[in-house]
Structure 1
Amino acid sequence: MTCQKTSHTFTKIAFKPLHTNLFNIVLISFFLTIGCGNLYSQEIKPKKTPLPAARQSDKSKKASKDTTKTITDTIKIDSIKPKKAFLDGLLKHNAKGYEKIDKKKNTLTLYDEAELYYKDIELKSGIIILDYKNDEVYAGRIKDSAGILVQYPNFKQGSNEVQPDSIRFNFKTKKALIYNSRTEQGEFKIKAEITKKENDSVYYLKGARFTTSTDVDNPEYYFRTSKVKFVPGKKVITGLTNMVIADVPTPIALPYAYFPMSEEKSISGIIVPSYNDSNTRGFSLQNGGYYFALSDNYDLTVLGDYYTNGSYAMRFESSYAKRYKYRGNVNFRFENLISSERGYPDYSKQNIYNIQWSHSKDSKSNPNSSFSASVNMGSSKYFKQSINQANIGSSLNNTLSSSISWNKTFNTIPQARIALTATHSQNTQTEEINMTLPSLQASVDRIYPFVGKDGVKKGLIKNINLQYNLSGKNSFVTTDSLFFKPQMFDNAKIGMQHSIPISTNFKVFKYFSASASTNYQETWVTKTINRSFDSDLNTVVDKTVNGFDAFRTYNFSSSLGTTIYGTFKFGDTKKIQAIRHVMRPSFSYSYTPSFERYYDTYAIDATGATYKDYTRFENGVYGQPGKSNSNIIGFDLSNTFEAKVTDKDSTKTEPKKVMLLNNLNFSTSYNFNADGKTTFALEPIRVSGGTQLFDNKMNVNFAATLNPYAIDNSGQQINVFNINNRGSLFRMTSANMTLNYSFSNKNDKKDENKQSERNGGRSDDLFGTNTDLNDTRKSQFTEEDSENVITEFFNSKLPWDMTMAYSLTYTNTKRENKISGNSLMISANMDITPKWKGGISTGYDFVQKGVTFTQLRFERDLLSWRMSFNWTPLGTYSNWNFFIGIKSGMLSDIKWNKRSASNR
């Protein structure tokens, strides 16, 4: 309950007796001053400026010069201050019934929809009585024609509001008595039988109840206490407090309770842990810790778990933000996992960790500079073995990646840019980590050296432009066990690459767009190799040579393309009026010479009779120069198909456009310098396409690879066309198709699986919802903006949504001719009743003939409470989790959470 701060509420009125006393006091003071010049009402300091003496004659001036003293004014403002008026502000009042003044009792009565306004105070009630004699005001209810009490008082001061049965306030003592008051403080709603306002900031309550329920008169639960000290906006301190659920007292009681109620910022406090047990780790206390509200710009949450077998976990979570500058959050998780007991065969011990950091800078703070971070790194097995994460999508992900980048733009002519980036890519299956720390990118904008003074870039010559790019890398390849250990830095690869691309574009025969470009590259490295045959070891060895070295390459490329439009008309009276086909064919040519001068030879055996070529730049951070010529011509054709159909709405005169195929692409290339052994002249034709159906709710994508070459009996590709080997024109070596369909009768479905996506999982719930066991108060389902309306026949509207994904893969690389992948996954959520929600994520693998990941989830809205059940019945990650607790974050520690023993 928030008892509002009541202050002066009424107009100041001076009583007649006060006027009489004041007059007598002034009169007596006047006569005493005249009669006795040396008698003062109080000690008065002489004025600094004396009164001027009366004019005298010249003779008298001289005679009285030594004998006459300067007369000073000894009369000052009277020290007795008049009594302050009853009210020192403007008072407004009105009533629908009547306004009555009783001069004998010195009261003002306002009746029926009475209103009184004074300074920042608003008082509305059925009846308001203002007592001038006792400096009090009273407000209460009145009875209607049926004898029912109506028009409850409503007292509002500033942002605080109280709705009692009656209120009595004394303006002189600043004390008040409030009966059956109802108020709100943050998420709390408070009702008290009697409230005593001691002063402007302290209230005492008797027979109070606290709840977060929307209905404070009939709550589904509340905390009952007999004595309360209440400081609005700061705290509530109670005596013996008992929890009551559905008007039934529970054994849950506290000898005293403290509720922080600051409205300015978050309050630091203890996070109560939850109890659990595990078959392999024993009993545990989980997710206990402390929340630090460090400032308005950042905070810190420290959480921990402890198991009786010695396992423990620590988590540090912090969010920070500065308006118009930046925002972000940092999460660090560490777990020391012990399974079974020491001495048993299934005993194991390991440490796993995960670091996540997200940072974004507001572009308005500095348009020429930006800094961003998206970090997700740690142990490869963290999401598979964590005791505090039930995130299947993240567990099935095979890659963790991170990126931290800083960019700066220099407003020079031409404009220049520089970027520093640190990247990280981690394969959770092989536990291999690829990292650049850092990577440098710099560039200077394009320069058009042949453009005229008019600035028009038109034609082959005027469109010639050049650019300068610089790239530098410090690259590492390591594993989980060596991450950030000295061995990791021993194999660092450092390099830098300069490139100067020169290009131009122009029109050919009006309808064709042509372009030509050449690129010069110079690569610097700090390590090379010297390969030779070691006769003692009888093997080929590579010796690392430290020192600066460089190689230079260049290439040439050109392209020619156009756009062809075609429309097939069927008539305006037809259902399909026309089909529009857009083709974009393009031809490209690229040439890269051989750089044999960077190659040497080495003996492969002790005889020294057989040699092979190698380059000392092998395994460099920017690759190695090519040995063979590359003389390739390429072809690419993209198509789109669009139809005009008669609109179902007869009021519309224009036809409706429907996309038939978003894209249908064909691509291949021919290498004139292919040797027919390791490389083949004609590349396989790649076909890909996609479209959207059912009002863009279903996405359909397909792809196929058509190989023109035949294979031998061992399944190896040979330099013979398949049609010349008594086969078809092409061999379909692979094909795949995916369908994604999302539909519902709700509004647009919101993405509520952001954390799963950040962990590397999916943004949808095909692999179930992300369950962060640190905070199970959050709903597993999409939260609607508006509350469900309970109608007489609820089944007239059953909110639901459904997501379906189908994948089909065909493989025929070595004449397998088989379906290698064929699976269907479905996720559905539905409001079973206005308060019950249910959902399922499941699927079926038609190749393996088994059910894929399956999750069942249920949730019950208990008004101020929430109950949920999450069950994964099958597979390695089978588990269940039950939760019931108060939704309010202020009372998040009042919960019961039970989950199955972890199998991980």
Structure 2
Amino acid sequence: MAFQKPSHTFTKIHLKALHTNNFKILFALSFTVFINTLSFAQDIPKKGKTINRSIKDSVVVKTDSLLIPETSEKAQDSTLTDSVAPKKELLEHIVTYHADDYTKFNQKKQKLYLYNNAKIDYGDMNITSGNIVIDYTKNTVYAKGITDSIEGYTQKPVFTHGNNVVEPDSIIFNTETKKALIFNSKTEQGEGTVIAQITKKENDSVYFLKNAKYTTAEDLEDPEYYIKLRKAKIVPGKKIVTGLANLFIYDVPTPIGVPFAFFPQTETHTSGIIIPTFGEQNDRGFFLQNGGYYFAISDYVDLAVIGDYYTNGSYGTRLESTYSKRYKFRGNLGFRYENIINSERGFPDYSKSTIYNIRWSHSQDAKANPNSRFSASVNLGSSTYYRSSVNQINTGAFLNNTLSSSVSYSKTFQGEPQVNFSLTATHSQNTNTEVINMTLPTFQGSVGRIYPFASKSGSKKGIIQNMNLQYNIRGENRIQTTDEFFFKKEMFEDASAGFQHSIPLSTNFKIFKYFSLSASTNYNEVWTFKTIDKTYDVEERNFVNDTIKKFDAFRTYNFSTSIGTTVYGMFDFEKEGKDRKIKAIRHVVRPSVSYNINPAFDKYYENAEVVNADGLTEGELDVILDNVNLEYTRFQQASIFGTPNKNFSSSMGLSLSNNLEAKVRDKDSTATEPKKVVLLNNLNFSTSYNFAGDSLQWSPVRMSGGTQLFDGKMNVNFGATFDPYALDNNNNKIDKFNIDNGGSLFRLTSANLTTGWSISSKKGGKEKDKNLEENLRSGGRADDLFGVSEDFANQQIDSKKDGDKEEPPSEHYNYKIPWNLRIAYAVNYSNSRRQNEISSHSLMFSGELELSPKWSIGASSGYDLKNAGFTYTQLRFERDLLSWRMNFSWVPFSSRSSWNFFIGIKSSILQDLKYEKRRQPDIQL
């Protein structure tokens, strides 16, 4: 690269008369024809080949050459390409330069001076600086800042070459060799910054450094830490290779160092080693935990293989994979396995067990396919996994008592009517009883509503036009097993399958203008592939069931109707001349009456055969069978969709729902309308009366309600059950009203109250910990009331988002202390048999307090008010050390008593520069 010298000379033009020299013109033309005939441009012919001279010149000279337009040599050449590269131009790109104060060229020294906001653009190279000097004799560019007596050294150079940006104190750049010497530079490399005293730019892709600092700190003038690189080589966007390097904290050297180091700088995903955490546990010895290898398989999927090892022989492994494709789907898959050994072989407390857990989450983008959808949420494995796991990543989920899974695919066929179907596999696992219920799979299909009597215009009026029907089908293959036989052949032996078909026919219409009446009938058909044949063994005094594997079916139908309306009431409190706080209260009441008929299908019932009755008289047999009900249906214990109704049922249902809202004076004086406040979201009452029953015809009255307080920050839900019948001396319900037995109109049998309250300061406190996502994926709570995972090493916490700006610190100490608090309260009362007791009574709470913008403490705990004891408690402490972070978590008591201390760099590229010390819980199997 070279720069063109601007001209500062003047040329005198003198006009002379043109003289034609015919001899010289003819000689030049003859020489040109001779050269064009015997030469072949600049191409050297290959040996053994002759030049084809039959090609005639395309230029015919018939007139004076001065009148013929000049043509290029290439156009006259008979060859299409030239084997000799043309001479390189002086400048390959257009050079543009600018300076605010002046642009001066020194003709004697062949130097160009640019001053104040100087700028040079040449191809993909750009230099901005306060002062730029271009030396044409040496082909160098020298850039430096401007020294001001007030502002100091300003307008430092910024050198940009391609995607590389360097901000030095000064720079010398050679335009021919494209080499440069850079002094006191700051260069961004990935998430970090390289600060070097002297940098030599060898070419576009190689830099050599001396006495450099590598840091991810934001304050580059006084970084809180850096890694000192004595000699290093940088390949921008790829790697940094260095010799002796050690860690400095605020310019204080530490003994943490390496003889050589390699820092990957690629912007794409790369594979690499995950450094484990070391520690010691009382009954398992020393351990290495959460170490392994990360595989960057592609831009769409990755895999992390992580393992734990304890010196007593215990070990664990985890496979974690995340995949995603934009506008298509995203998900993650994980498998965890642990082989846990307690104590030593030969000791009485020695034990060994294996546990595992499988998790899979998949979600499809809504834009991928509007007519079909696939989703998965899987969490299954050993029932004792979360309680027995020694890896503290599972701390926030060990209180889970239910594991559940669901994998589903649904498809919609657009049309009239619309057809839908879905396939779903479900799993529910009780970790206390170790009972597992699965459906492999569940098939559901439906045909959209059909209005056979609707008018062609589309409007539906009256009982006939509103008549509609549907078709629904559901098929299931149910499996019930335990941990012992999970995914073994015994698991499938007792599987039950069946189909249920239903065709509901309904209509609705208005009567008396304000009442809505609906009527429906439903046809139901159940298919099953197993039935039972029941016999009664007189000798053993019990029933014997014989399973018959064959297809069978039963059919039922019912009828129901309901009528309801909505009543609005407004209580106005406003009076002329008075500005009351409460303006009005609005009450909405929705009463409803329903009637249901379920016929008796006793044709599906028969009496069990009596066996082993030989030798008994008829009277003796009657005595034995006197208290035995031999009637049964072959579908009981075999049909997964219930059994036919044996008794005729004719019942009436009553329900009443309420909603209360108030209009109050707004605190904002500029508001023109009153503020609406919800007093009761709902207050519902329901009961029923069985006309066909011979006793206890009234069912208990059930009451439920809910509301929100304090601008929606507190949710309150309550419920109660009232029984109109009395109890006898043995606390059994009798067919006598409680009021007729000397009691009240209703007898309170149960009640419950739950509240959730979330409050915070105006600033709101810190953002939620990302470990809450681990809780949710493990089947736990979405909040931290049961604690959070303690996997501090693998989480990259950076609460600041792009574009967020930190508020300047206040001059007053403790000017604002952000905080938040979450409270959950639950109480249950039982009195169904005069026990009159609080069956459960608990209070849970969690919160965070930011002592300063960089210090925060948090806690999760609870108190069992019935048993008078604290529930699982976790105390947390976090310190933001700018580029570093420090976490401390402590579980002071319970079977998982433990603590964990962690300090490490937040940047993902240096996340393995950490220190972690922990005390594992001493879990006994």
Instruction: Please say whether Structure 1 and Structure 2 have the same fold, judged by a TM-score greater than 0.5.
Output: yes
Separation of aligned partners in 2, 1:818 and 1:322 = 55
Question: 2:722 matched to 1:719?
Answer: no
Q: Secondary structure at the match of 2:466?
A: coil
Separation of aligned partners in 2, 1:41 and 1:545 = 100
**Deviation per CA, 1:112-163, whole angstroms, max 9, x where unpaired?**
2222222333211121111122221111123213594332111123432110
Over 3 Å counting, the alpha-carbon distance change for 1:392 and 1:673 in structure 2 is: farther
Q: CA deviation at 1:361?
A: 1.1
Q: Secondary structure at the match of 1:566?
A: strand
> Which amino acid counterpart does residue 366 of structure 2 have in structure 1?
S
What is the aligned partner in structure 2 of residue 566 from structure 1? 569
**Would you say the 8 A contact 1:91–1:116 is kept in 2?**
yes
Separation of aligned partners in 2, 1:52 and 1:151 = 61
**Deviation per CA, 1:853-900, whole angstroms, max 9, x where unpaired?**
222111111111000111111222221111001111111111111111
Question: 2:795 matched to 1:814?
Answer: no
Q: CA deviation at 1:445?
A: 0.7
Q: CA deviation at 1:539?
A: 3.6
Q: Output aligned runs, 1:299-698, within 5 Å.
A: 299-389=302-392, 391=394, 394-534=397-537, 539-572=542-575, 573=578, 574-602=580-608, 606-607=612-613, 609=622, 610=625, 611-619=629-637, 620-676=639-695, 680-698=696-714
Q: Secondary structure at the match of 2:663?
A: strand
What is the aligned partner in structure 2 of residue 208 from structure 1? 212
**Deviation per CA, 1:448-487, whole angstroms, max 9, x where unpaired?**
1111222221110111111111110011000111111000
Q: Secondary structure at the match of 1:481?
A: helix
Separation of aligned partners in 2, 1:98 and 1:388 = 68
Separation of aligned partners in 1, 2:40 and 2:286 = 87
**Deviation per CA, 1:7-65, whole angstroms, max 9, x where unpaired?**
x585588999xxxxxxxxxxxx9899679967999547567740389999xxxxxxxxx
**TM-score, normalised relative to structure 1:** 0.91
Separation of aligned partners in 2, 1:83 and 1:99 = 31
Separation of aligned partners in 2, 1:803 and 1:424 = 31
Q: CA deviation at 1:735?
A: 1.0
What is the aligned partner in structure 2 of residue 745 from structure 1? 761
Q: After the TM superposition, which of the residue ranges 610-619 and 232-241 deviates more from structure 2? A: 610-619
**Would you say the 8 A contact 2:784–2:860 is kept in 1?**
yes
Aligned pairs, how many?
Answer: 867
Over 3 Å counting, the alpha-carbon distance change for 1:172 and 1:528 in structure 2 is: same
> Which amino acid counterpart does residue 234 of structure 1 have in structure 2?
K
- 1:895 is aligned, of 910, 914, 921, to 914
**Would you say the 8 A contact 1:794–1:834 is kept in 2?**
no
What is the aligned partner in structure 2 of residue 252 from structure 1? 256
What is the aligned partner in structure 2 of residue 116 from structure 1? 120
**Would you say the 8 A contact 2:99–2:115 is kept in 1?**
yes
Q: CA deviation at 1:225?
A: 1.6
Q: CA deviation at 1:717?
A: 1.3
What is the aligned partner in structure 1 of residue 65 from structure 2? none
Question: 2:167 matched to 1:173?
Answer: no
Separation of aligned partners in 1, 2:650 and 2:324 = 54
Q: Secondary structure at the match of 2:491?
A: helix
**Would you say the 8 A contact 2:877–2:889 is kept in 1?**
yes
What is the aligned partner in structure 2 of residue 63 from structure 1? none
**Would you say the 8 A contact 1:12–1:89 is kept in 2?**
no
Q: After the TM superposition, which of the residue ranges 130-139 and 481-490 deviates more from structure 2? A: 130-139
**Would you say the 8 A contact 2:399–2:786 is kept in 1?**
no
Q: CA deviation at 1:444?
A: 0.6
Gaps of 5+ in 2: 10-26, 46-50, 63-75, 614-620
Q: Secondary structure at the match of 2:774?
A: helix
**Would you say the 8 A contact 2:764–2:820 is kept in 1?**
no
Over 3 Å counting, the alpha-carbon distance change for 1:882 and 1:740 in structure 2 is: same
**Would you say the 8 A contact 1:12–1:88 is kept in 2?**
no
Q: CA deviation at 1:317?
A: 0.6
**Deviation per CA, 1:590-636, whole angstroms, max 9, x where unpaired?**
11111111112125785454251111111221111121112111011
- 2:775 is aligned, of 744, 756, 767, to 756
Q: CA deviation at 1:200?
A: 1.5
**Would you say the 8 A contact 1:9–1:91 is kept in 2?**
no
Separation of aligned partners in 1, 2:59 and 2:398 = 103
Question: 2:95 matched to 1:91?
Answer: yes
What is the aligned partner in structure 2 of residue 735 from structure 1? 751
Separation of aligned partners in 2, 1:253 and 1:55 = 82
Question: 2:285 matched to 1:269?
Answer: no
Separation of aligned partners in 1, 2:433 and 2:265 = 51
Question: 2:295 matched to 1:289?
Answer: no
> Which amino acid counterpart does residue 891 of structure 1 have in structure 2?
L
Q: Secondary structure at the match of 1:460?
A: helix
- Report sequence identity in percent: 54
Q: Output aligned runs, 1:856-875, within 5 Å.
A: 856-875=875-894
Q: CA deviation at 1:761?
A: 1.5
Over 3 Å counting, the alpha-carbon distance change for 1:78 and 1:796 in structure 2 is: closer
Q: CA deviation at 1:267?
A: 0.9
Separation of aligned partners in 2, 1:82 and 1:615 = 101
> Which amino acid counterpart does residue 597 of structure 1 have in structure 2?
K
**Would you say the 8 A contact 1:539–1:605 is kept in 2?**
no
**Deviation per CA, 1:371-403, whole angstroms, max 9, x where unpaired?**
011111111111111122455552222211111
Q: CA deviation at 1:216?
A: 2.6
**Deviation per CA, 1:739-776, whole angstroms, max 9, x where unpaired?**
21111124568654232123222112222223336625
Q: CA deviation at 1:325?
A: 1.0
What is the aligned partner in structure 2 of residue 105 from structure 1? 109
Q: Secondary structure at the match of 1:487?
A: helix
Separation of aligned partners in 1, 2:77 and 2:865 = 113
**Would you say the 8 A contact 1:11–1:90 is kept in 2?**
no
> Which amino acid counterpart does residue 411 of structure 1 have in structure 2?
Q
Separation of aligned partners in 1, 2:125 and 2:791 = 46
What is the aligned partner in structure 2 of residue 125 from structure 1? 129
Separation of aligned partners in 1, 2:30 and 2:199 = 52
Over 3 Å counting, the alpha-carbon distance change for 1:730 and 1:781 in structure 2 is: farther
Q: Secondary structure at the match of 1:403?
A: strand
**Deviation per CA, 1:58-80, whole angstroms, max 9, x where unpaired?**
xxxxxxxxxxxxxx999999998
Q: Secondary structure at the match of 2:909?
A: helix
Q: Secondary structure at the match of 1:383?
A: helix
Over 3 Å counting, the alpha-carbon distance change for 1:147 and 1:576 in structure 2 is: closer
Separation of aligned partners in 2, 1:821 and 1:35 = 114
Q: CA deviation at 1:517?
A: 0.6
Separation of aligned partners in 2, 1:75 and 1:763 = 77
> Which amino acid counterpart does residue 757 of structure 1 have in structure 2?
L
Q: Secondary structure at the match of 2:529?
A: strand
What is the aligned partner in structure 2 of residue 69 from structure 1? none
Separation of aligned partners in 2, 1:171 and 1:55 = 47
> Which amino acid counterpart does residue 618 of structure 1 have in structure 2?
Q
**Would you say the 8 A contact 1:14–1:85 is kept in 2?**
no
Over 3 Å counting, the alpha-carbon distance change for 1:417 and 1:540 in structure 2 is: same
Q: Secondary structure at the match of 1:489?
A: helix
Over 3 Å counting, the alpha-carbon distance change for 1:760 and 1:779 in structure 2 is: farther
Separation of aligned partners in 1, 2:368 and 2:563 = 43
Gaps of 5+ in 1: 1-7, 17-28, 57-71
Q: Secondary structure at the match of 2:463?
A: coil
Separation of aligned partners in 1, 2:919 and 2:106 = 74
Over 3 Å counting, the alpha-carbon distance change for 1:147 and 1:503 in structure 2 is: closer
